[in-house]
Structure 1
Amino acid sequence: MTERSKDPLYNCVVVKVGTNVLTRPDGLLDMTSISGLVDQIAELKRLGISVILVSSGAVGAGRSLLPLKEQTNKVVRRQVLSSIGQVRLMEIYRQFFLNHGLFCAQVLATKEDFRDRRHYLNMKNCFLALLRDQVVPVVNENDVISVTELMFTDNDELAGLVAAMINAEALIILSSVDGVLDGPPDEAASRVIPEIDPADPKWEKFILPSRSSFGRGGMHTKFRIAGKAAKVGIATYIANGRRADVLPGIVQGENSGTLFRPKEGVSGFKKWIAYNESTPKGKVRINAGAEEALRSPDRVTSLLPVGIEAVMGTFEKGDIIHILNEKEEIIGWGIAQYDYEKARSNVGKKGKKALVHYDYLYIEG
């Protein structure tokens, strides 16, 4: 490791490492790359930083142990390879972390674990207990049961959810590219964009739809997840996971990859609401004036009945509802303060209790 003297910028980070960083071109595990990653995480721990690792690679590990016929059903193939490979992957991590005197722990998750508030808090408490005891949680999607609607887009999405859950100060997404580029990756003139304001739509033009060789995601997914994490207050980086000492460099302020500048002052409860994209039990459509008020950065505004045009679906007090604008685009989420019947009777009326209080409201933008 390169000697550094700077104090770290963050006390708690989530590191997500993609398939292309952990595997060779043939899709099998790259032991040198994994060892180097663990060395860097151990360095972060030495600096006093709590680290959660969200790791792909289980399917690659399974592929090296049990080659399956290509004709095998795609979903079943993934289930079999990941269930076998996850054991192998964790044993590799266990051995490498033990070389640094560190313990690691396996955490497997599905989307459903983040949708239910009780499951969410149980998982959060587990993470906090592991970090308190200086254990490195190694998180992956539970591919054995994660199919169709239970699947994350990829582990980038899972990493964003975990970072929001534990109120991490930074999310570092390690890929096989140096960051978000201002041109096509195969053009020599393309340069890394060092910093992005996720609220500024001009940056989206630099993202080209692409997928990694063996992973499910691509730069478009990484850009979306990084932007969302930054909007809820998490400094988010996209950087090259094969670059030497990239993690210590990032946490000590060196220019590595692309930083998505975080928004300040978002509570843990709002982070949970922001990431809870399950099918809502209800929706409300608001008028343009209400949308403007809710989006205003200079005002603390709850969703009042006077700004509501329509109430759709059936929901109870405490349910999460979607908030639509006049074009019926989803602009936010919130926790209803009363049920759909009362909400419908209050539509358009002044002086009525807010349907969604500001403290339980998240507006995108």
Structure 2
Amino acid sequence: MTKKRILLKIGSNTLTKDTDHISRGKIEDIGRQIAALKEGYEFIIVSSGAIAAAKQFVKLEHNGEEINVKQALASIGQPHLMRIFQENFRELGLFTSQCLLSYSDFEKEQSRVNIKNTIDVLVANNFIPIINENDTVATDEIKFGDNDKLAGLTAALLSVDILIIATNTDGIYTKSSFDSIRPETIRNVSLLSDLKKEIGSSKSSHGTGGMESKIDAATIAQKAGIETWIANGLKDNFITDAIENKSVFTKIKA
């Protein structure tokens, strides 16, 4: 049986469960779901959270630009983030690997080939690639999009079946219901131009991307024939519930 390939993008707001610390419980929840689904699905993860991880351990003295401080924090936090993934996943019988990429890697044909070949080998040998932007040398994630665009580009390059973007809402809400007690999720959509009319401009507390960057990622995926799901990563079992259609989320058709 050919396994379906899922690229799971996890933002800082999901990994911290909207707090100031990386949540080991959330990483364990993600690992448990991947372990439960591994007979039918293979996973690649694009994960933010390096800066949030560093803030748990250090407060940097600095005189320089704020962006340089964030790059330094990313450098400190990335090994901590990977260690937390490795420890929690290993207890569930899952193996992890780290891949640090930059947007410029996607512009060179040889780099694209190398990325795809390396990740295909890792997945074939039951290693879960955990991808982050190489924040020490590049600043696109810090400045612009909380890894959403990186997830879209990677999903397209690896020809995944589904791109799941975990966020802190039940998908994308209709603009008219956005401020109500029970906002209404847009369940299924084909035309991204319709979706763009509905989104607000709010951003998460740790992440730098709002819904706009998620739609940009979905646009890249859709052009590559990939379906995108935007689901509430703060909830337990958000991946398995989405696959089993037990939860409310936004599905953007390929």
Q: Are the structure 2 counterparts of residues 188 and 141 from structure 1 closer, same or farther at C-alpha, using a change threshold of 3 Å?
A: same
Q: CA 1:125 to 1:110, structure 2 compared with 1: closer, same or farther past 3 Å?
A: same
Q: Which residue of 2 aligns with 1:131?
A: 123
Equivalent residue number for residue 12 of structure 2: 19
- Equivalent in the alignment of 1:31: 24
Range that drifts further, 250-259 or 28-37: 250-259
Letter in 2 for 1:245: N
Partner residue in 1 for 2:199: 207
Q: Does the 8 Å contact 2:116/2:157 carry over to 1?
A: yes
- Offset at 1:24? 4.9
CA deviation vs aligned residue, 1:246-288 (integer Å, no higher than 9, x gap): 11122334444100011xxxxxxxxxxxxxxxxxxxxxxxxxx
Per the alignment, residue 188 of structure 2 pairs with: 195
Which of 215, 219, 223 is the matching residue for 1:231? Answer: 223
Matched, 1:246 2:253: no
Aligned mates of 1:84, 1:74 — CA distance in 2:
15
Which range is displaced more, 188-197 or 150-159? Answer: 150-159
Q: Which entry has the higher C-alpha Rg, 1 or 2?
A: 1
**C-alpha deviation, 1:19, in angstroms:** 0.7
Q: Secondary structure at the match of 1:173?
A: strand
Q: How many angstroms does 1:187 deviate by?
A: 1.3
Assess, with a 3 A threshold, how the Cα gap between structure 1 residues 185 and 76 changes in structure 2: closer, same or farther. same
Corresponding residue for 1:174? 166
**Gap change, CA 1:71 and 1:218, over 3 Å in 2:** farther
The reply to whether residue 61 of structure 1 matches residue 40 of structure 2 is no
What is residue 220 of structure 1 aligned with on the other side? 212
Q: Who is 1:326 aligned against?
A: none
Q: CA deviation at 1:121?
A: 0.2
- Say if 2:153 and 2:220, in contact at 8 Å, map to a contact too: no
Distance 1:111 1:248 in 2: 30
CA apart distance, 1:73: 2.3
Distance in 2 of aligned mates of 1:161 and 1:248: 24
Change in Cα spacing, 1:238 to 1:149, as seen in structure 2 (3 Å) is closer
For the residues of structure 2 that align with 1:258 and 1:103, how far apart are their CA atoms?
30
Equivalent-residue separation in structure 2 for 1:149 and 1:159 (angstroms): 11
Q: What pairs up with 1:110-125 in 2 under 5 angstroms? A: 110-125=102-117
| Aligned residue number for residue 4 of structure 1 | none
Residue type at the aligned position of 1:41: I
Report if aligned partners of 2:105, 2:112 keep a CA contact under 8 Å in 1: yes
- 1:135, 1:194 → 2: CA distance? 32
On the 8 A contact 1:110/1:151 being kept in 2, the answer is no
8 Å CA contact retained: 1:246, 1:256 = no
The alpha-carbon deviation at position 151 of structure 1 amounts to 7.0
Residue identity opposite 1:214 in structure 2:
H
Match of 2:153 in 1: 161
Which amino acid is the alignment partner of residue 16 of structure 1?
K
Whole-Å separation in 2 of the counterparts to 1:145 and 1:151: 13
Could you tell me the TM-score, scaled by structure 2's length?
A: 0.92
What secondary structure sits across from 1:65 in the alignment? coil
Q: Of Structure 1 and Structure 2, which has the larger fraction of its residues in helix? A: 2
One-letter amino acid of the structure 2 residue matched with residue 126 of structure 1: T
Identity of matched residues, %: 34
Q: Does 1:43 align with 2:41?
A: no
Contact 1:157/1:225, CA 8 A, preserved across alignment: yes
SS of the residue corresponding to residue 140 of structure 1 reads strand
What is the CA–CA distance in structure 2 between the aligned matches of 1:70 and 1:208, rounded to whole Å? 34
Higher RCO (CA < 8 A, seq sep 6+): 2
Superposed CA RMSD in Å reads 2.3
Contact 1:194 1:259 in 2 (8 A): yes
Matched with 1:349 is none
- 1:295-315 deviations in whole A, cap 9, x for unaligned? xxxxxxxxxxxxxxxxxxxxx
CA distance in 2, matches of 1:245, 1:26: 19
Unaligned runs of 5+ in 2: none
Amino acid at match of 1:216: T
* Matched residue type, 1:29: I
Q: Deviations over 1:152-208 (max 9, x none)?
A: 633111111111111000000000011010135431242111101135x33322101
Distance 1:13 1:165 in 2: 13
TM-score w.r.t. structure 1 length? 0.65
- Partner Cα separation in structure 1 for residue 19 and residue 237 of structure 2: 25
Aligned 8 A contact 1:35 1:96 in 2: yes
Distance 2:105 2:144 in 1: 11
